[in-house]
């Protein structure tokens, strides 16, 4: 159902380098881009994650309680994505580990503009 999610950025070039590195862990590549927006996806026609300069040209801000969650295939991928985010200048919002019940395993980080990203697997 979700086609794409965009996160605001105040420095598109810096965000591009961050997400090129972090999303390479899951094989995502840039798919659509313009002067104001960059998009990544893992498969043709699949959902996309994008960063953009806000349309109203005001400063991009991260929302309190707003989070994008990326579903991946394994705990190792959760760990690798979180580690790559830290290596690329992100900040942790929760190290990878089990959360709640039902086999949920996730890690949380903020990108260079403060946007919160969750990476998780269930039973993976």
Over the stretch 46-71, which tens digit does the pLDDT of each residue have?
Answer: 999 999 999 898 999 988 788 999 99
Domain extents in the chain: 4-54+66-122
Reduce the DSSP state of residue 109 to 3 states and report it: strand
pLDDT interval class at 96 (50, 70, 90):
very high
pLDDT of residue 44: 86
Could you tell me if 116 and 62 are in contact, meaning their C-beta atoms sit under 8 angstroms apart?
A: yes
Q: What is residue 68's predicted lDDT score, i.e. its pLDDT? A: 95
Residue 106, pLDDT score: 96
> Tens digit of pLDDT for each residue in 98-115?
998 889 999 999 999 999
The dihedrals phi and psi of 2, each to the nearest 5 degrees, come to -80, 125
Domain 4-54+66-122 is classified in which CATH homologous superfamily?
2,3-Dihydroxybiphenyl 1,2-Dioxygenase, domain 1 (3.10.180.10)
Report the chain's mean pLDDT, rounded to a whole number.
93
**Band (1; pLDDT cuts 50, 70, 90):** low
| Count of C-beta atoms within a 10 Å radius of residue 33 | 15
Q: What is the pLDDT of residue 14?
A: 96
- Burial class for 102, CB neighbours closer than 10 Å (0-12, 13-18, 19+): exposed
């Amino acid at each position: 159902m979700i086609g794409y999610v965009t996160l605001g950025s105040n420095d598109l070039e810096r965000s591009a380098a961050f997400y090129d590195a972090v999303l390479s862990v899951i094989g995502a590549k840039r798919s659509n881009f313009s002067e104001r927006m960059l998009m990544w996806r893992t498969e043709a026609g699949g959902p996309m994650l994008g960063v953009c300069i806000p349309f109203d040209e005001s400063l991009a801000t991260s929302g309190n309680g707003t989070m994008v969650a990326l579903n991946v295939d394994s705990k190792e991928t959760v760990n690798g994505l979180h580690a790559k985010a830290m290596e690329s200048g992100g900040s942790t919002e929760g190290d990878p580990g089990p959360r709640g019940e039902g086999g949920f395993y996730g890690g949380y980080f903020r990108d260079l503009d403060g946007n919160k990203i969750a990476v998780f697997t269930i039973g993976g």
